[in-house]
Amino acid sequence: MVPVSIQVRQALSKLVLPVLLLMSVGIIIAGQADRPLADKARMRVADVLAPLWGLLSRTQTDSERFVHGIQEARNLAEENHRLSAENANLRRWYEVAVSLARENDALKTELHWVPEPTPAFVTGRVVADSGGIYARAVLLVAGTTSGVQVGNIALASSGLAGRVTEVGAHAARILLITDIASRLPVELESSHAAAIMVGDNSPLPRLLYYSQDTRPIEGERVVTSDQAGAFPSGIPIGSVHYLHPGQPVVQPFARLDRLTMLRVFDFGQSEIEPPEAPGHVPLTRPHRALTLPFKTLLGPGQEG
Amino acid sequence: MSDPRQPRWEHDTETQLTSRQRLDRTARHLLPSVFTALVIIFFSAPVTVPGAAELLPAIVINTIFFWSVWRPSGMPSLAVFLLGLFMDLVGFTPLGVSAFILLLVHGIGSYARFGLMRMNFLVVWCLFGLVGAAAAALQWALACLFRLHLLDPAPAFFEALLCIGVYPLLSATFSWFLHILDEKDTP
């Protein structure tokens, strides 16, 4: 250590705090100016910490399972009665479902129905709730090595959870539908009317921009719409609920506050391009070549 | 330049330390920072603690304030800076915001420490309440600034209240801990 006088030492130690404060301001500005770099640094840290978080969450699920097991053992008989009654009921529904599926198959064969491609998906454990007060996001242990890409769709067991926004090698960050940055085109199921679901960091995202003649009905199911090309249509999101008159919100089916597993689907939406519609040819003189690609005519937001 | 025979000015504290004592002292100095880092990692995992998002900054602000006032050697500015940066990297806040806020809390704590140490616990608690509320308000203001959108101030209120409410508990724990360390120091 270089020997310095006491005065210099004291002066230096007084300088440390202001210098660090300035540095943090510099980092704030740099992080705002170069967001990809900040995101990359974040994902690197998350990659390193992912196994640790995995360990923590696994310990937690194990202990919860243990406690749950003890609680369950106490009311086994009652549960058994309830389940056998439910089983009888479900068996009836099973018969109905089988006959309906058969009928559906027969009808589809009649109609020469083109089957939709089954989307590829990976399942991962949610290891970190990386959102703070002003953000809602989770971290999933599944990254580019398992085929997760930015823009893929994360589903919980019962409904839509969010979209992949950043991907590392072993971890992916998923922006939940409740985040303030989340805006999704949705469809009200019974009226087929379009609306926008806007997150506001509260557990209940709001419904906006619905048409005034088809207002959302309390309890109506809300599903995704394929309007912007980002989502396939018909993924269940939640049900409409009115907090106050004229202020509809969506109660998500997925329990977004305690996610444990998420399935990430690659619907490959970007590959589907609508065929060029003959009615949409721009008005140009016949001998001049078209300078604009047809894609630009599809309206804003179609490119996904 | 450094001559081993020349008596250094902190001669009385440094020369008679064995390597084990030095290790012990280093561990003691690192302990608050390591504790805070572990708290950050724990709360960023999906724990089922209610209000975890608000509790984490509250605990971190409490810890940093306490150690800045009572034992600044355990919480140097650099450690505060690194902890804040770590919190930003793990969480979703804009990079550097937590570092900035925590450094401010640390600065206030260490600037006012000689005044605060002589005061009654209740007075210190009240003053800390002001600091915590200011930190929560600053966080809210910065979040609004970066989103360019007026956000709901309710979580900031909740965080400030948690910050104030958690203080006696953490303060008692840390004081008890300091007491044990000091007893060990003077057998």
Compare all CA atoms of chain B with the CA of A46 and give the residue at the minimum distance.
B90
Pick from A67, A133, A257 the residue to mutate for testing the B interface (most B CBs within 10 Å).
A133
* Predicted pLDDT of residue A298: 44
Written as one string, the DSSP assignment of B42-93 is HHHS----TTHHHHHHHHHHHHHHHHHHH-GGGS-HHHHHHHHHHHHHHSSS
Q: What is the pLDDT of residue A223?
A: 92
Q: Does A254 touch chain B (CB under 8 A)?
A: no
Contacts for A177 with CB less than 8 Å, ≥ 6 apart: A160, A161, A162, A184, A197, A199, A205, A237, A252, A256
In angstroms, rounded to a whole number, what is the distance separating the alpha carbons of residues A25 and B104?
12
Find the CB nearest B46 among A45, A128, A135.
A128
Say if residue A165 is exposed, middle or buried (CB neighbours under 10 Å; 0-12, 13-18, 19+): middle
C-alpha span between A163 and A59 (Å, rounded)? 27
* Among chain B residues, CA nearest to A132: B53
Cα separation, A300 vs B97, whole angstroms:
35
User: How high is the pLDDT of residue A297?
Assistant: 43
Q: How confident is the model at residue B126 (pLDDT cuts 50, 70, 90)?
A: very high
Map residue A167 onto helix, strand or coil: strand
Average pLDDT, rounded, for chain B: 84
Q: Looking at the predicted structure, is the pLDDT value of residue B5 above 80?
A: no
Instruction: Name the nearest CA neighbour of A274 among A302, A293, A300.
Output: A302
Query: B53 or B171, which is more confident?
Result: B171
Q: Does A133 touch chain B (CB under 8 A)?
A: yes
Residue pair A16/B78 in contact (Cβ under 8 Å)? The answer is yes
Question: What is the ipTM for the molecules in this complex?
Answer: 0.78
User: B182 is written with which tokens?
Assistant: 């000091």
Query: Looking at residue A170, what is its pLDDT?
Result: 85
Could you count the other beta carbons within 10 Å of the beta carbon of residue A289?
5
Residues in chain A within 8 Å Cβ distance of B64: none
Hey, what are A256's tokens?
A: 């977004």
Local structure of A208: helix, strand or coil: strand
pLDDT for the residue B41 = 87
pLDDT of residue B3: 46
Nearest C-alpha neighbor of A174 from the set A265, A38, A61, A269: A265
| Minimal CA separation from B55 to chain A, in Å | 10
Q: What is the mean pLDDT of residues B102-123?
A: 89
The answer to whether B53 and A131 are in contact (CB under 8 A) is: yes
Alpha helices in B91-153 (DSSP H): 97-111, 113-117, 121-147
What is the nearest CA distance from A26 to chain B, expressed in angstroms? 8
CB < 8 Å to B149, chain A: 180
Determine the residue of chain A that is closest to B92 in CA distance: A131
pLDDT of residue A46: 85
Q: What is the pLDDT of residue B149?
A: 80
How far does A67 lie from chain B, in Å, by closest CA? 14
Residues B125, B117: Cα–Cα separation, whole Å: 12
What single string gives the DSSP state of each residue in A30-62? HHHH-HHHHHHHHHHHHHHHHHHHHHHHHHHHH
Question: Helix H segments across A112-142?
Answer: none
Residue A186 has a pLDDT of 93
The total of other beta-carbon atoms located within 10 Å of residue A275's CB is 6
Contacts of A50 in chain B (CB under 8 A): none
Taking one residue from A and the other from B, the number of pairs with CB-CB distance under 8 angstroms is 139
Whether the pLDDT of residue B1 is over 80: the answer is no
3-state secondary structure A234-296: CCEEEEEEEEECCEEEEEECCCHHHCCEEEEEECCHHHCCCCCCHHHCCCCCCCCCCCCCHHH
For residue B15, the model assigns a pLDDT of: 55
| pLDDT beyond 60 at B151 | yes
d(CA B48, CA A57): 10
Residues from chain A contacting residue B107 (CB–CB below 8 Å)? 17, 21
Q: Is residue B12 classed as helix, strand or coil in its secondary structure? A: helix
What's the CA gap between B97 and B138, in Å, rounded? 9
**Given an 8 Å threshold on Cβ–Cβ distance, is B156 in contact with A133?**
yes
How is residue B145 written in tokens?
């600034």
Closest Cβ opposite residue B1 in set A2, A31, A57 = A2
Give the pLDDT of residue B21. 83
Contacts of B68 (CB under 8 A, 6+ apart): B75, B80, B105, B106, B109, B110, B113
pTM of the model: 0.64
Residues of B whose CB is below 8 A from A6: 9
CA dist B25 and B19 (Å) reads 10
- Which pLDDT band, with edges at 50, 70 and 90, does B42 fall under? confident
Give chain A positions within 8 Å (CB) of B47: 56, 60, 129
Tokens of A107: 């009808």
The answer to whether the CB atoms of B2 and A3 lie below 8 A apart is yes
In this prediction, residues B99-118 reach a mean pLDDT of 90
Q: Which residue of B lies nearest to A133 if distances are taken between CA atoms?
A: B53
Cβ neighbours of B122 (radius 10 Å): 9
Q: In the prediction, which pLDDT does A202 show?
A: 87
* pLDDT for residue A161: 93
Return the percentage of chain B with pLDDT > 70, whole number: 88
Question: Which one is predicted more confidently, A231 or B167?
Answer: B167
- Residue A176's contacts (CB-CB under 8 Å, 6 or more residues apart) are A131, A136, A137, A138, A161, A162, A182, A199, A256
Give the gap in angstroms from C-alpha A230 to the nearest C-alpha of chain B.
23
List all residues of chain A from 71 to 90 with a beta carbon under 8 Å from chain B. Answer: none
Asked whether A134 and B93 are in contact (CB, 8 A), the reply is yes
Mean pLDDT by 10 residues, chain A (304 residues): 74 85 90 85 86 84 89 88 94 93 90 79 84 80 87 89 88 90 89 90 90 88 85 89 91 88 80 59 48 44 41
Q: Higher confidence at residue B83 or residue A6? A: B83
